[in-house]
Structure 1
Amino acid sequence: MSSDIQKIRNIGIIAHIDAGKTTVTERMLFLSGAKHRVGRVDHGTTDTDDDPEEQERGITIFSACVKFDWKDNHINLLDTPGHVDFTAEVERCLRVLDGAVVVFSAREGVEAQSETVWRQADRYNVPRIVFINKMDREGADFESVFNDIQPRLGGRPVAVEIPVGQGPAHVNNPFRGVIDLIDLKFLEFDPETEGKQVKETDIPDELMDDALLWREQMLEAVYELSEDAMALAMEGEEVPRQVIIQALRKGCIEQTIQPVLCGSALHGIGVQPLMTAVGHFLPSPLDRPAVEGFDPKKEDKTLARNPDPKEPFSALVFKILPAKTGDNYWIRIYSGVLKQNSRVYCPNRDKKENVAQLWQIHASKKDRDGQTESLAAGDICCVIGPRFAITGDTLCDTKEMIELPSIKFADTVLSMAIEPENTGDRKKLEEVLAMLRRQDPTFQAVENEELGQTIISGMGELHLEVIQHRLTRDFGLNVKFYKPRVNYRETVGGKSDIVGACNRQMGATQMFARLSVRVSPLEDSSAPVQVFDRLPADINLPGDIRHAAIEELRERAAGGGLLAGFPLSGVRIEAYDAETHEEGSDEVAFRIAAGDAFDKGLQAAGPVLLEPVMKVEVTTPEDYMGELVGDLQQRRALIAGTETRGAMTVITAHAPLKEMFGYSSAVRSLSQGRAGSSMEPLGYQAAPKEDAEAFMY
């Protein structure tokens, strides 16, 4: 069994939008023999982008899982979105993967979302290899992209391939193949067989000097990683191929290097070596550390599970696809064996769950021929039967319990009010929204009974637009949609020391309580509210009353700020003194005093409205830079920097989300369609005074 696990590769394809992730995936499926025709994104014929919304827009929105075999390795591949609005799909996939292929466009290079997905991979300690795609495009520059990886991403790229030529067929030196630096061979890919036939020849003399220079750089990294390689080099001996591969594999798994390959996925150039590199350099489940969690019955007790079928079963739910016949739960099995028609335990919900069916996954669906009796450690599969677990929850053995770390998703930044056109659709709308919440952890829907509306929230304009289309097109609902609004927060601008009081007559009892509270801002205005019990130990305050006062402060903080009830953040609240009477000083009195102190403390410290700020990256020809910078400044953007990448200029700016509605259309209009932009959440800043005043009155 362990030898099978050694051959499993659980990998993801991650990148900035339009770098070619889905095209890479499709070409892998074709070249491995998993499908007979190559799907095209622009034709809407790809396996992984099978949702109508994805096919219409030509982008990936939902992560998809495909499986194929290549050179004795069984590869579970997750294709992920590149658009920042769907970054949760990347987050949940990286949480369960063992390795990743990071795709860069040879023309655009390291872009804004490239940095985001790289940071996500860092956070989950995911080893990665790099594929510089689109080497056949106008303006392709392998060396420029390669040299950007270290300063912009903090990586250490090591080239194991270099391109022969770059750019389309009409340029002087078009891209026509790659040089394998390990074997020192020139690889050409037959266009007639769409890259299936690979011709391996000696490197032409005119390219040999360049190849040897790059190979020496690769070997320098190998010497650092392998004592055997260093010893051979010092003796003047040739370093064997297998020693080089083992050294690079070690460095990749330890995340000290990232092997770099190149090609053109659209034309099948360089994809076969990429699949071979996945097997050579990326880890199997056995190469990864044991997964750690804690005992749900004793939270201070840390537990671990090795990737071994003989260990107790443990798995993580990373995606749920609602279905009429039973929700499809996508899980990663970390240890043990999972059998069909068995019972497992979900510690997060304290519920036992049924495992009625086990399926292999193809794209976003169950594989038609993929139902199986059992699956073991290291695999990714679909389970039908659970009812209570949600994304990020653990499934484990009913006797040997463990709770694994969950998945943390970013807060929503944009909201929109919706309501059904008629009362008959209200119940159906509620059911559909509940289903969408199960599927997408970054989508929220809260009913406002006073207005008869539902407030839906998401990660951006495109995210909410996709939700709109699903409600109307996929579910046939007649729904009114109102203008999107940003999700503000509230904090305080200064400090205050306040005494909250309760001095009320309740029947025959005179209630009394005094609570001294200090309110101050945290350095990070977006950090969660911190509530501290600083009450002296010798104060005459029973434990239940003390607890009630602190609990009231926490509940009030969770309820939002004073301006408009927006979520409160970046605030420290400390209760540091209290006064009681012999009679009438009970839990209720101190809750009232705590509430009074909370309101007075926030007011005295100066409520501040915070607005979300986006990091904006605009890539444009130099001719349009002035107009684009001027437009950004009119949107209250701060220009953080500009740089030249090939023939294009990249503008980086920090802009309030409120001012950025419809920005992608504005960029196209100002540049005659030649510039592009991307945005990602950066943080929060104080909103203009007039915006805050609008909520006060």
Structure 2
Amino acid sequence: MRTQLSSTRQLSRIRNLGILAHVDAGKTTLTERFLFLTGATHKRGEVHDGTTVTDFDPQERDRGITIFAAAVSCDWDGHRINLIDTPGHVDFSDEVERSLRVLDGAVAVFDAVAGVEPQSETVWRQADRHGVPRIAFVNKLDRAGADLDTAVASIRDRLHAVPLVVQLPIGREDAFTGVVDLLRMRALVWDDEADAACVEGPVPEELRDEAARRRRLLEETVAELHPAALEEFCARGELGARTLAGALRDLTCGGEAVVVLCGSAYRNRGVEPLLDAVVAYLPSPSDVPSVRGTLDGAVEERAADPAAPFAGLVFKVHSTATGRLTFLRVYAGTLRKGDTVLDATAGRTERVGRILRVQADRNTETDRASAGDIVAVVGPKAARTGATLCAPGAPLLFEPPVSAAPVVSVAVEARRGLDTDRLASALARLAEEDPSLVVRTDPETGQTVLSGQGELHLEVAAEKIRRAGLDVTVGRPQVAYRETVLRGVSGFVHRHVKQDGGAGQFAHVVLDVEPLDGPDGTFAFASTVTGGRVPQEYVRAVEAGCRDALAEGPLGGHPVTGLRVTLTDGATHSKDSSELAFRTAARFALRDALRAAVMTLLEPVAEVTVTAPDAAVGPVLGDLAARRGRVSGSTAHSGTTVVTATVPLAELFGYATRLRTRTQGRATFTTRPAGYTPKP
């Protein structure tokens, strides 16, 4: 019992969290302040100086953005914080997806001027899908035009969250000096000295009424959401600080509300209270439900217990000059140096040679890693991203993170023929590290094609190959088109008969093909055959054959999406019918049916958000129209206008340069995928 209590206490002092935000909201700066204030580093890194710990890759420092998710650890108030700084650019959303798969909580960072931005919504929805509790940090309150209430309103309106604001800013814009803590009704002030500590004092006289009003509003909102808080509020007419803090933690962990704090990470204001909030409100590994996996087809739960059989999920693979690092979240049990583990995904055993506690591009060796830890291991040679590593005597298979389908492709080839094999190895290594990159050979041209999530994604991949010493040429980007059905066909008959001596093949199928509506309508299959004319095992083979036929459409060999296929009739032969025969018949039947149907080509589109000075809005709108863009809205704010439009992805290549030229470098833009639309 004492050992169990000790393990629970140890787990309760771990926080696994990510930093999520739109690009340039201040994620990396905030991470650097975390590391400095906790003593993990002795000097604050700055993005503009290229001295940050987490943006250690040369491309990240050159471009000034986070590209690869980086793991770091620090200690605060007796708690171990394992932190992952995630990218904010839409092209690297898969890095965020894989990170969220192994995190217990997150800090969502918002710009106090811009509020919720397009990629803010994307990462928020990703966290919703994974059920990751969040607290919010409204950053850059020292900027001109910064307003906490406006940013909080955007969180409420655009993210449909319930924000619980626990701080009140002291001063506005350049005069922002600190915050009022509404739980303890105290002022926290920082001066302009670089390493100045927070100074605690009474609430300023001019803010006392406003602080009291906001404290009352906070209590009322919490009481509406939390039964125990409601009981105390009704009995006493107010909430004590302990009850309020406990209710905030419960609401955060349950995903019912979001605690909101504020500050300026660059000027070191509001970071210590945020660290306190991470410890106070975000869950530990012992607070989240037991992880679920499958064992021989049955679902099994495994608790976060260091004494349980070992199980962990690989969320990142990184090749370095000194070897291959496999990043791992340990969900259950204890992993020791020298252990042999089972890669349940590949069905092979691997030996763990070293266990490393990672600090971005630096690491410290350790002898063991227990439930709740995020570490890197050296030794596994074939474990891929999404693989489950577990104890050989207690196998378990976790569901791997899902990678988004690529939307942009380029042809890549080595300038020198002698480097062709080296290029193939480099591309294979890239695809292993980043599953959202897909490498294939074009069957018509014989070219090697690299596909990814966007133009920047492919630029970074190509540059990584060049920095490895390979001289490569990259073709013009090509988008990934799709084909769909506009008007289907009914009663399409196909008979598959093959007799070549020995057992023959016979299958007779009748298909209806029609469009499938809905945002998730990719393919649906149904059978209305009655009387056992087509046995159930053959019906499954027909569905498999139809899925085979979706790989290449009749218009240009693009994948087919958005259709419903119904098997309405069929016939079998007592000896020659088989699952293979019906699968083959269905593949040819659907292929021919699509040729008979009315088809259309779909092209990927992106939602583009352009922020430009009012004087440059005309050229921006004209350029968007020339790119077949459809403007969906515009908002004016403090001398700038934010224009939102839907633009075909094929028209966005080179848009960054064009926008800078038309606006003298004063406009910025962001994009995010917005699905597919018919191509004119």
Q: Normalised by the size of structure 1, how large is the TM-score?
A: 0.92
Distance 1:294 1:350 in 2: 14
- How much has 1:647 moved relative to structure 2? 4.3
Residue of structure 1 aligned with 2:442, choices 440, 448, 472: 448
Q: Name the stretch that deviates more: 506-515 or 317-326.
A: 506-515
1:90 match = 96
Aligned to 1:600: 592
Corresponding residue number in structure 2 for 1:397: 391
Q: CA deviation at 1:449?
A: 6.0
Verify: 1:487 aligned to 2:480, yes or no.
Answer: yes
Structure 1 counterpart of 2:442, one-letter code: N
- Equivalent residue for 2:66? 60
Please state how far the C-alpha of 1:550 moved relative to its aligned partner: 4.7
8 A Cα contact 1:187 1:199, kept in partner: yes
| Gap change, CA 1:581 and 1:36, over 3 Å in 2 | closer
Compared CA separation, residues 576 and 643, structure 1 to 2 (3 A): same
Gaps of 5+ in 2: 1-6
In terms of mean alpha carbon deviation, does 328-337 or 560-569 score higher? 560-569
C-alpha contact (below 8 Å) 1:139/1:647 kept by paired residues:
no
Tell me, in whole angstroms, the C-alpha distance in 1 between the residues paired with 2:482 and 2:520.
8
What is the root-mean-square deviation of aligned Cα atoms in Å?
2.3
d(CA) in 2 for partners of 1:650, 1:612:
23
Q: Residues 178 and 359 from structure 1, CA distance in 2 versus in 1: closer, same or farther, beyond 3 angstroms?
A: same
Listed as ranges, the matches of 1:20-169 within 5 Å are 20-168=26-174
> Which sits farther off after the overlay, 207-216 or 273-282?
207-216
1:198 is aligned to 198
Q: Which moved more, 1:648-657 or 1:153-162?
A: 648-657
Identity across matched positions, percent: 42
Note the 1:499-518 alignment, pairs <5 A: 499-502=493-496, 506=500, 513-518=507-512
Deviates more, 1:662-671 or 1:229-238: 229-238
Q: Aligned partners of 2:577 and 2:279: how far apart in 1?
A: 69
Answer yes or no: is the 8 Å Cα contact 2:486–2:600 preserved in 1.
Answer: yes
Cα offset for 1:542?
Answer: 7.1
Return closer, same or farther for 1:291/1:583 CA change in 2, 3 Å cut-off. Answer: closer
Residue in 1 that maps onto 2:369 = 375
User: How far 1:304 moved relative to its partner?
Assistant: 0.7
Structure 1 equivalent of residue 3 of structure 2: none
Shift of 1:382: 0.5
- Distance (whole Å) between structure 1 residues aligned to residue 185 and residue 537 of structure 2: 75
* CA–CA separation in structure 1 for the residues paired with 2:415 and 2:531: 59
Paired residues of 2:317 and 2:327 also in contact (CA < 8 A): yes
Equivalent residue in structure 1 for 2:548, among 538, 544, 555: 555
1:439 aligns with 2:420: no
Matches of 1:103 and 1:94, distance apart in 2: 15
- Compared with structure 1, are the counterparts of its residues 507 and 212 closer, same or farther at alpha carbon in structure 2 (3 Å cutoff)? same
Look up the equivalent residue of 1:155 and give its one-letter code.
A
1:123-143 deviation per Cα after TM superposition (whole angstroms, max 9, x unaligned): 111111111111111111111
SS of equivalent residue, structure 1 residue 303 = strand
User: Is the contact between residue 347 and residue 402 of structure 1 (CA under 8 Å) also seen in structure 2?
Assistant: yes
Once the two structures are TM-superposed, the CA of residue 309 in structure 1 deviates from its matched residue by 1.2
Deviation, 1:546, is: 6.2
Q: Report what 2:210 is aligned to.
A: 210
Report if the CA contact (8 A) 1:525-1:569 is conserved.
no
Aligned 8 A contact 1:90 1:117 in 2: yes
Matched residue SS, 2:74: strand
Q: Distance in 2 between matches of 1:554 and 1:233?
A: 58
User: Structure 1 residues 633 and 72, CA, compared in 2 at 3 Å: closer, same or farther?
Assistant: same
Match of 1:625, SS? helix
Distance 1:310 1:577, change over 3 A: same
- Cα distance in 1, alignment partners of residues 126 and 667 from structure 2: 27
Cα deviations across residues 576-629 of structure 1 (Å, max 9, x unaligned)? Answer: 222456787677765664344222210122222110011111222333323322
Match of 1:224 in 2: 224
Which residue of 551, 556, 559 maps to 1:564? 556
Is contact 1:359-1:366 (8 Å) kept? no
How far is the alpha carbon of 1:648 from its aligned partner?
A: 3.2
Cross-structure match for 1:477: 470
Q: Quick one: distance in 1 between partners of 2:644 and 2:260?
A: 26
Aligned match of 2:13: 7
Structure 1 counterpart of 2:598, which letter?
G
Q: Judging changes above 3 Å, is the alpha-carbon distance between structure 1 residues 80 and 644 closer, same or farther for their aligned structure 2 residues?
A: same
> In the aligned structure 1, how far is the partner of 2:89 from the partner of 2:666?
19
The 1:281/1:546 distance shift into structure 2, 3 A limit, reads: closer
CA shift for structure 1 position 502:
4.1
Match of 1:284 in 2: 284
Preserved CA contact (<8 Å) 2:177 2:191:
no
Looking at structure 1, the residues matched to 240 and 578 of structure 2 have their Cα atoms a distance apart, in angstroms, of 79
SS of the aligned residue for 2:91 comes to helix
* Structure 1 residues 68 and 589: CA distance shift in structure 2, 3 A: closer
The residue identity in structure 2 corresponding to 1:467 is A
Give the C-alpha shift of residue 252 in structure 1: 0.8
Partner of 1:348: 345
1:88-127 residue CA offsets vs partner (Å, 9 max, x unmatched): 1111111111111000111111100000011011111111
Residues 638-660 of structure 1 show CA distances to partners (whole Å, capped at 9, x for unaligned) of 22222344543322211111111
* Matched pairs, number: 673
User: One-letter code of the match for 2:532?
Assistant: D
1:128-178 deviation line (CA, Å, top 9, x unaligned): 11111111111111111011111100111111112112212xxxxx21111
**Distance between the aligned counterparts of 2:71 and 2:481, measured in 1?**
36
Give the AA of the match of 1:653: A
**Matched letter for residue 628 of structure 2:** R
Aligned-partner residue type, residue 365 of structure 2: Q
Between the aligned partners of 1:477 and 1:385, the Cα distance in structure 2 is: 27
Look up the match of 2:4. Answer: none
- Deviations, residues 518-549 of structure 1 (Å, cap 9, x unaligned): 2112113764333445444432x677766655
Deviates more, 1:632-641 or 1:592-601: 592-601
> Does 628-637 or 59-68 show the bigger shift?
628-637
1:468–1:274 CA distance, 2 compared to 1 (3 A): same
Q: Within 5 Å, which residues of 2 pair with 1:518-597?
A: 518-524=512-518, 527-539=521-533, 549-557=542-550, 559-579=551-571, 593-597=585-589
Conservation of the 8 A alpha-carbon contact between 1:335 and 1:377: yes
Change (3 A) 1:165 1:502: same
Change (3 A) 1:310 1:585: closer
User: Secondary structure in 1 aligned to 2:317?
Assistant: strand
Relative distance call for 1:212 and 1:580 in structure 2 (3 A) is closer
What does 1:249-268 align with in structure 2 at a 5 Å threshold? 249-268=249-268
CA distance in 2, matches of 1:509, 1:165: 86
Is residue 2:235 matched to residue 1:242? no
1:333 corresponds to which letter in structure 2?
V
TM-score (norm 2): 0.94
Q: Paired residue for 1:327? A: 324
- Following TM superposition, by how much is the alpha carbon of 1:384 offset from its aligned partner in structure 2, in angstroms? 1.4
AA aligned opposite 1:115: E
CA distance in 1, matches of 2:24, 2:349: 43
- The alignment status of 1:183 with 2:184, answered yes or no, reads yes
Q: CA deviation at 1:6?
A: 0.5
